[in-house]
Amino acid sequence: MGNSASLSIRVEPIAGSLGAVISGIDLAQELSPEQVAAIRQAWLKHLVIFFRDQPLSPARFLQFAQYFGEVIEYPFVKGLEDYPQIIPVVKLEHERVNFGGVWHSDTAYLDVPPMASMLIAREVPSAGGDTLFANMYDAHEALSPTMQRLLDGLVALNSSAKADVSKTREDRLKDSARQDAKQEYVAAHPAVRVHPETGRKALYVNIAHTTCFEGMTPEESAPILEYLFRHQVRPEFTCRFPWRPGSIAFWDNRCAQHNPVNDYHGYRRVMHRVTLAGDKPVGPAAR
């Protein structure tokens, strides 16, 4: 498999700001270095990429993820028995709250947040259960130069105990909490991070985890954060992905946020997720 294999890959954007569907590849097969490079290039360009009709076994799903980074375990919920790095993301028919059902960047409350997450759909409702994604490069670029300068110098505090995200985790904590999970994780990160691969600036605060700015009181931080939380998910910065069994989403946690839409009460939705190790966020001031 040479360059011709990567040339067969088709990348079709699904929105103006971010998101693309990749076709012309069978992820159940071994991938060539050229194919892996082509996928990574599309991922860095589009922030989130999607594949259709790839009903991978858990073992193959893990292998696919490992082409792009080191798979790590999630701090709160146990993984599958035979594959502890694969987290089941489940909403059952009787549940009203969905896991992670708020705009967020995954586990921004960790000192070293993940580079990326990958999700494969196992069971989905006949309608509903889409996931929204938002482009934090575009969100930063759309701010005024004065606001950009202010945020470029700020550090944001992030907590796993913020009410919105705790609520969306509670059903799974009842039945599959990890015994070693801490009660609360807190991390300080630049409000704007410089992407280590693209060099671009991305807004790095999110409504699920960010509590205030370092050196400011919560009251002083609140109006700025409330504005940013609204601004960063403006429709023109987003795309929306409808799932089918065997669909895969692979997003860049360093420059994209996501929000699973909770519009399918009474129906079951089962996904499997893996997380890839990242690096400590670096702000513009540190470069």
Concerning whether 138 is annotated as a catalytic residue, the answer is no
Q: Residue 156: which of 213, 239, 72 has the closest Cα?
A: 213
Q: For residue 151, which phi and psi values (nearest 5 degrees)?
A: -70, -30
237 sits in the region (left: phi over 0; alpha: psi -120 to 50; else beta) called alpha
How far is it, in rounded angstroms, from Cα 50 to Cα 40? 12
From the candidates 104, 140, 172, 254, which is the catalytic residue? 104
Q: Which of 193, 195, 258, 272 is catalytic?
A: 258
Q: Is 240 a catalytic residue?
A: no
- Distance between CA atoms of residues 47 and 250, nearest Å: 8
Catalytic hit among 106, 138, 171, 252: 106
DSSP states along 44-96: HHHSEEEE-S----HHHHHHHHHTTS-EE--SSB---SS-TTSEEEEE-TT--
d(CA 258, CA 40): 19
CB 243 within 8 Å of CB 38:
no
Q: How many other CB atoms sit within 10 Å of the CB of residue 194?
A: 20
Is 258 one of the catalytic residues? yes
Q: What is the DSSP string of 95-156?
A: --S-TT-SSB-TTTTSSS--SEEEEEEEE--SS---EEEEEHHHHHHTS-HHHHHHHHT-EE
Identify the DSSP state of 31.
Answer: P
- The CA distance from 74 to 275, in Å, is 7
Q: Is 140 a catalytic residue?
A: no
**Catalytic positions, please?**
104, 106, 258, 273
